[in-house]
Amino acid sequence: NAGVTQTPKFQVLKTGQSMTLQCAQDMNHNSMYWYRQDPGMGLRLIYYSASEGTTDKGEVPNGYNVSRLNKREFSLRLESAAPSQTSVYFCASMTVTNTGELFFGEGSRLTVL
Amino acid sequence: GDSVTQMEGPVTLSEEAFLTINCTYTATGYPSLFWYVQYPGEGLQLLLKATKADDKGSNKGFEATYRKETTSFHLEKGSVQVSDSAVYFCAPHNFNKFYFGSGTKLNVKP
């Protein structure tokens, strides 16, 4: 089972460049999430999608946009990358139940120079 | 808003030592409570969970009890192994959102 697949795993950008992180899950989950992980700060929620066709802001949405393309895919776009967006990004998905478990991808390490 | 506080790390223990990682939370209503673990170079994975007051979650020798009166969910293990070296995250879940603690790094020495 593939679970949650993120691409790319590593990316280096220059300030001002744009890029899209792709995420796909094959578990038929309704909810999908994008987090960033920074040293000493745990995981912070960027955006989430409770179901296909809906997206909502999390704690740190500034500088990002998302698209829930279909039930399987949830992409994260940086329109004009900044050094402050250097981080490890994790996509996750969850079943529809309120006591559901999050399933994480392996992460995407982004460096903005 | 909801939030969670974890004890700061790193925590360094010898193999077979007793482990406690403290976690307290603030939340509206009655969240479900989770502990996630992140091994080096990997994403997070569920370690254990508890969905209501006084429930005890357990897995791989780890345990945590949902204490509503103290809003706590402390993680314990009686005898740690080198393979338990990882970062541990406490995470209340409420209204379709997870609130992650800052993580506690555990180093277990042989």
Per-residue pLDDT tens digits for B29-65: 889 999 999 998 888 999 999 999 999 999 999 999 9
Chain A interface mutation, best of B4, B8, B44, highest count of A Cβ atoms under 10 Å: B44
Tell me the per-residue pLDDT of A83-110, one tens digit each, with 9 for 90 and over: 999 999 999 998 866 567 899 999 999 9
Q: Do B98 and A45 touch (CB under 8 A)?
A: yes
Instruction: Please report where in the chains the tokens 């010898």 appear, as a residue.
Output: B14
Q: Which of A44, A50, A105 sits opposite B43 (nearest CB)?
A: A105
Residue A70: phi, psi to the nearest 5?
A: -165, -170
A42 CB within 8 Å of a chain B CB: yes
Put simply, the answer to whether A99 touches B101 (Cβ < 8 Å) is no
Query: Is beta strand B32-38 parallel, antiparallel or unpaired with respect to B86-94?
Result: antiparallel
